[in-house]
Amino acid sequence: MTVSEGTELSVKGEGLQQLYTDYIQNRFLINRRYQRKLVWAVEEKQRLIDSALKKLPIPLILLAESQYEGSARLEVIDGLQRLDAIFSFIENKYPVDGRYFDLETLADTKFFADSGTLEQKTPVWDRATCRDFTNYHLPVSTYRSASESSVDEVFRRINSSGRHLSLQEIRQAGSTAEIAGLVRRLSAAIRGDSSLTDYVNLQDMPKISITNKDLDYGIYDGDIFWVKQGILSRDAVRESRDEELVLDLLLDLILRPFASSGTEYRNAAYSEERVSHSTSALSIRARLLTIGKDEIERRFMGTLDLIKETLDVAGAPYFTWTVTQQNPRGVPRHFHALFVALEQILHEENLVPKSKSELAKALKGFWDKDLSVPGGGNWGSARKSDLVEAVKGSLRRVFEPTEDENALKLQEHALRFESTLRMALTEDALFELKQGFCQVSNLSKFDDASFEKILKIASAMANVHSKAKGIIFIGVADGDGDAESIRRFTGVESHKVDKFCVTGTQHELDAMSKTIDEHFRWLVDRIKSSKLEPKFANSLAATLSPFRYRGYLLWKLEPQAGESPVMHDGRFFVRNGPSTKEVSGAALIDLVRRFPAR
């Protein structure tokens, strides 16, 4: 996002009809660096709509004018939940007093209903009431020509009392501290609401929002890892206590010796002023320069993957498998100690489990043993260190050294892959999924035309804008139909990740009698000799990587924009949502303008 100089503030009433028009034109932009997840329950949304229907005042919406990807946008500083509640009601996603908005009321909603984009649900509010609702004027304050730092500061000041946001959300809001980005990325990956960039259209936010069981979209809070495993309660996740736990875990992966855990230590991690503190932002930055942020992410994801896979083998959630005595508020410190102990066994002692089943057996009733886990308040460094050492001592017997470096190199962290895959929900122009290299009915023959189409899509992704970076996964079907065809022809059962079906490509390589290394070398040569421009073909071939996810063999390509648009077979292509279209005539001028001279 870019902004100009000279701040100006205007306040006026905006009709809901005009706001909805802005919404469907994708003018509203959400900055996830400071905006919380959509967390309103249906009842809260209904109360807001009831206020508008009764012509009661609704709190002001605060926006900031900005430019994003070459177009004028309105960044939502305060009022995300209110806008989502209004637009969701208009689009029939929930009723109020048992009745739905009449889609015939607005020309836009009528068009969407006629075209099948929206479905009219019944019973319906009368037309006059719906017309009055869309004519309701909402107070909107627009912050013009604001800098990013001033927008961040406004957001923090609005929520500094803590009435709207939790302590952790205030810490994260607009923070540029090294730790903030790690916390944000890892927390979103675990919840399942990752996005390719910090900026997301308001229209796309419901796809990656946290919802309750009364809504048929978004991420059901009961399915989130922390809640499903009984580590944190649903309310705790809605208050971003999951991000607080991720922060605590990261601090114990980064800093040596362990720092104490508690509010004071968490605050210091985001502060540039408290330089003498054990968890100061300066201390964290220095350690990250030594270890590397990517390495910390790798260790974190690898440890969590091991825990998740072990619990899959156990067939029971964490809180019932490891702890007999139940706690409705969850068992975050039990998990914290186990996580840090496993991370050190894996990455500092370089051991691997003898088997997931042996580790699962060792963890059964683990916290019922003679191990003391402290309650609330600060968790002192010494007590934490003693507990982690005790956990390692109890578990080390089910681990062993490994020298299989090739297998480790090929193993993609499941959490990283799932997180990236879910980004396709909001960034379809820069994502493409292909079920494989061959036609399902002829697995022994490489489908050359289909692969050339993949390369054309790669060129189109590189033409989206000057900083575009796309992702193409091969071995993932984007629907149940393709997955069922593969099962019918090959017997391969797919693994479901949200709406996507992972099928892998090992069955194709087996049918073609190729090893992974042989196919990798052949694909690199095929890309370099394709219809792509040579420079782009070489850079694309360098991104090709095979990896395994839950035993499935997958492949990844990462096309990236260069200094100018790229051609495929002498023609230019661009991505329009999930579609690939040729660019010609006057549209070529617009394409060139996407790549300003550097």
Give the pLDDT confidence of 81-97 residue by residue, as tens digits.
999 999 999 999 999 99
Q: Are 473 and 421 in contact (CB under 8 A)?
A: yes
Identity of the residue numbered 148: E
The mean pLDDT of 180-189, rounded to a whole number, is 92
Q: Is the pLDDT of residue 160 over 60?
A: no
The residue among 5 and 391 whose pLDDT is bigger is 391
Distance in angstroms (rounded) separating the CA atoms of residues 463 and 449: 21
pLDDT for position 189: 92
Give which of 372, 362, 371, 370 is closest to 321, Cα–Cα.
362
Count CB neighbours of 104 within 10 A: 14
The number of residues in the chain equals 598
Distance in angstroms (rounded) separating the CA atoms of residues 247 and 289: 18
Distance in angstroms (rounded) separating the CA atoms of residues 339 and 252: 10
The mean pLDDT of 19-48, rounded to a whole number, is 87
The set of long-range contacts for 383-389, using a CB threshold of 8 Å and a minimum separation of 24, is 384/252, 384/258, 384/260, 384/261, 384/337, 385/257, 385/258, 387/337, 388/258, 388/337, 388/340, 388/341, 388/344, 389/341
Q: Of 4-13, 59-68, 359-368, give the lowest mean pLDDT range.
A: 4-13
Q: Where are the beta strands (DSSP E) in 430-478?
A: 431-434, 438-439, 442-446, 471-474, 476-477
Q: Is 221 helix (H, G, I), strand (E, B) or coil?
A: helix
Q: Are 334 and 345 in contact (CB under 8 A)?
A: no
HSE-up (13 A, CA, CB side) for residue 565: 23
Vertex 95 angle, CA 90 and 98, to 5°: 145
- Which secondary-structure segment (H or E) carries 400? strand 399-401
Give which of 158, 179, 157 is closest to 255, Cα–Cα.
179
Q: Is the pLDDT of residue 158 over 70?
A: no
pTM attached to this predicted model: 0.76
The mean pLDDT of 41-65, rounded to a whole number, is 93
β-bridge pairing 471-474 and 552-557? antiparallel
Q: Is 551 helix (H, G, I), strand (E, B) or coil?
A: coil
Give the pLDDT confidence of 419-438 residue by residue, as tens digits.
888 888 877 889 999 999 99
- Top-confidence range, 415-419, 555-559, 584-588: 555-559
Chain-wide mean pLDDT for the chain?
Answer: 88
Distance in angstroms (rounded) separating the CA atoms of residues 272 and 515: 52
Distance in angstroms (rounded) separating the CA atoms of residues 133 and 520: 59
Q: Where are the domains of the chain?
A: 8-165, 222-407, 427-593
The mean pLDDT of 377-381, rounded to a whole number, is 86
Distance in angstroms (rounded) separating the CA atoms of residues 553 and 546: 7
Q: What percent of the chain has pLDDT over 70?
A: 90
The mean pLDDT of 533-557, rounded to a whole number, is 93
Give the pLDDT confidence of 325-351 residue by residue, as tens digits.
766 666 899 999 999 999 999 988 888
- Top-confidence range, 312-326, 477-491, 492-506, 556-570: 556-570
| Residue 248 pLDDT grade (very low, low, confident, very high; cuts 50, 70, 90) | very high
Helix axis angle, 241-254 relative to 281-291, nearest 10°?
60
Q: Is the pLDDT of residue 533 over 70?
A: yes
| 144 token code pair | 């013009």
β-bridge pairing 431-434 and 199-201? unpaired
| CB proximity list for 353: less than 8 A, separation 6 or greater | 306, 310, 359, 398, 399, 400
Q: Of 143-152, 262-271, 298-307, give the lowest mean pLDDT range.
A: 143-152
β-bridge pairing 61-68 and 71-78? antiparallel
pLDDT for position 145: 60
Q: How far apart are the first and last CA of the chain?
A: 18
pLDDT for position 162: 42
Count CB neighbours of 358 within 10 A: 16
Distance in angstroms (rounded) separating the CA atoms of residues 319 and 304: 15
The mean pLDDT of 405-411, rounded to a whole number, is 54
Architecture of domain 427-593: 2-Layer Sandwich (3.30)
Q: Are 51 and 13 in contact (CB under 8 A)?
A: no
Q: Burial level of 348, CB count in 10 A (0-12/13-18/19+)?
A: exposed
Sign of CA dihedral 6, 9, 14, 19: positive
Q: Is the pLDDT of residue 126 over 60?
A: yes
| CB proximity list for 1: less than 8 A, separation 6 or greater | 29, 31, 66, 67, 68, 73, 75, 148, 199
Q: What percent of the chain has pLDDT over 90?
A: 54
Identity of the residue numbered 73: R
pLDDT for position 458: 97
pLDDT for position 513: 93
Largest Cα–Cα separation, the chain = 75
| Residue 480 pLDDT grade (very low, low, confident, very high; cuts 50, 70, 90) | confident
HSE-up (13 A, CA, CB side) for residue 177: 25
Q: Is the pLDDT of residue 121 over 90?
A: yes
Distance in angstroms (rounded) separating the CA atoms of residues 420 and 427: 10
Alpha helices per DSSP H over 192-231: 225-228
Q: Is the pLDDT of residue 159 over 70?
A: no
What is 555-576 written as a DSSP string?
EEE--B--SS--EETTEEEEEE
The mean pLDDT of 566-581, rounded to a whole number, is 93
